[in-house]
Each structure stands twice: as C-alpha cells, then as structure tokens.
Amino acid sequence: MRRSGIPNLLQSPLLGALTALTCVDELVPAGEVFEQVLPQNTVQMTITGSADITVNDRPFTHRPGRLFAAGRGAVLHERSTRPWRLRYVMLDGPWCESLLTALHTSGGAVMLDRPPKAWCEALDTAVEAGLEGGPGSTWRIAAALATVLGGLAAAAPGAGDLLAEVGRLIDAAPERPWSVVALSRSLKLSPRTLLQRFRALTGDGPARWVLHRRMAHARLLLQRGVAVNDTAMRLGFANPFHFSRAFKRCTGIPPSACRQPPAP
C-alpha cells in the first residue's frame, strides 16, 4: 500500500476547501474482509480485480473502471473476490458537503459503472500527485478534485429512489427469491428497464443486490441467536446448505461465525 496524507493544507490552494485529505494506492489480496464506519468521505476507483461490498446493507460490486463514493458515517463492509487494486482519496471539508448531501439522498453511496473518462483521470491525477508530492502537487490535486467531486455531486441525487423501492419490497418479504420478473411487475417496469437502471446505479444486475439484502436480514437473525437452520427457513431456503453457501459468498464468513448464542 502507498498512502500519503497532505499535512500542509493550510499552506495550499486547498485552504478553505478541505480539512483533511489522504491519498491511497492499495493492493488487497483475494479473500480479505474489512468492515468499518467511514470516518471521512471516500472516492474510489478500481484498477484491477474485484470486490463485493455493502454500504448500509446496500450491495455493490467493484470492477475495473468503476467509480465509487461513500459518505462519512456509512457502514462499509468489503470482501475482495480477486486481488483488488484500487486508488482512492479519504477527505473532509467544505468541498465535500454537496457530495455528502447527494450521497445521503442516495442511501450513503453511489457507484458509476461507466463514469466519464475525465472523472477517472482526475481521481488518478489527485492520488498520484498526493503520493508524489513536490512543487505544485497541491494545485494539481485541487484542480483534479474539483472535477471529480463536482461530477459525483451532480450524478448522485435521486440515485437511491429505485433501490429504496426495491429494498422496501425485499424487507417486506425477505423469504421470497424476488426474480427480475417479480420485481418488474411490482415496480411497474419492464425487465429490460429494471436491468438497465440497476446496472447504471450499482454496476450489476438486481439478483446480486437482492441476495445481499436478504443476507442482511439473515445476519440480523443470526446475531439475535436464531439457529442457522431456522434462519435458512425464515429466508425461504429449503436447504440450509444452500443458505450457508449463499451467506458465505456474500459476507466471506459462514453463518455459524456470525451467530450469537441465545440469551440465558
């Protein structure tokens, strides 16, 4: 991992724009699991590899070329499915407020499957300038972040509307597998439109998103002490082994590792 904080914000063109900034170039081995409440806003770009993540129980998939942003306070759970190289910035300050407001509207995070090339290049420039330092680096960072933060703030509002509707359907009946056809009928959309909108918002189709949402319900049951077999039945799985495989695929751990013993 290469990581660099920018300690001299008070003596740079970023004065008054940011109060904290860290630039990171990281390679995460396959199978790594990481969970935290974000202390700052983050903007990430996947270079190679992939990872499954959830933000406030909303699933996303990192793949090369995708741009992702999440706001401070979001509950982030990541699991790398292949060796995952990413570049990102962690930042806070006045420049983030418009983005943070937009991200709250979108449920705390947004992922762009095909972001404008200029935004990706801007994030790459900001990270590289932060890692290299040297004369003029903070000016390059300022120009680059103005591009990517402004673009994301404009792209995020309203992104969570469809996901919120789908989330309400699943939360009301998590035992249903919720096929694309069933979701489309409930939302009064064509299956094609649903697929297109889901890919634009999350970078993936609805099947993975639905499964992650159902597994979020499973996690809550397990943490309350419900047995694995009973949890599988409540989530509509006739075979507990199928449930265990699905849970581990989504979370990186078996359901037994998540379960808390019932209170005496």
Examine the pLDDT at 261 and tell me if it is beyond 60: no
Percent of the chain with pLDDT over 90: 40
Burial class (CB in 10 A: 0-12, 13-18, 19+), 144: buried
Strand 84-92 vs strand 58-62: parallel, antiparallel, or unpaired?
unpaired
**What does pLDDT average to over the chain?**
86
Long-range contacts formed by 205-208: CB under 8 A, 24+ apart: 205/180, 206/166, 206/178, 206/180, 207/180, 208/52, 208/59, 208/61
What is the separation of C-alpha 171 from the centre of its chain, rounded to a whole number of angstroms? 20
Predicted local confidence at residue 188, as pLDDT: 85
Residue 127: both structure tokens together: 């990270």
Examine the pLDDT at 7 and tell me if it is beyond 70: no
| Among 137, 155, 195, residue whose Cα is nearest residue 21 | 137
Examine the pLDDT at 11 and tell me if it is beyond 70: no
Distance CA 18, CA 263 (A): 47
Q: Give residue 40's pLDDT band: very low, low, confident or very high (50, 70, 90).
A: very high
From edge to edge, which strands make up the β-sheet containing 58-62? 33-37, 75-80, 51-55, 58-62
Examine the pLDDT at 165 and tell me if it is beyond 90: no
Predicted local confidence at residue 135, as pLDDT: 80
Q: Give residue 161's pLDDT band: very low, low, confident or very high (50, 70, 90).
A: low
Predicted local confidence at residue 201, as pLDDT: 67
Q: Give residue 163's pLDDT band: very low, low, confident or very high (50, 70, 90).
A: confident
Residue carrying the six token digits 């202390």: 39
Tens of pLDDT, residues 130-145: 999 888 888 889 889 9
pTM summary value: 0.68
Encode 80-116: b = buried (16+ Cβ within 10 Å), e = exposed: bbeebbbbbbbbbbebbebbbebbbebbbbbbbbebe
Tens of pLDDT, residues 76-115: 999 999 999 999 999 998 888 877 777 776 678 888 888 8
Predicted local confidence at residue 160, as pLDDT: 52
Examine the pLDDT at 44 and tell me if it is beyond 80: yes
Predicted local confidence at residue 99, as pLDDT: 77
Q: What is the mean pLDDT of residues 61-70?
A: 93
Angle at the Cα of 26 (from 21 to 31), degrees rounded to 5? 130
Residue 263: DSSP 8-state = P
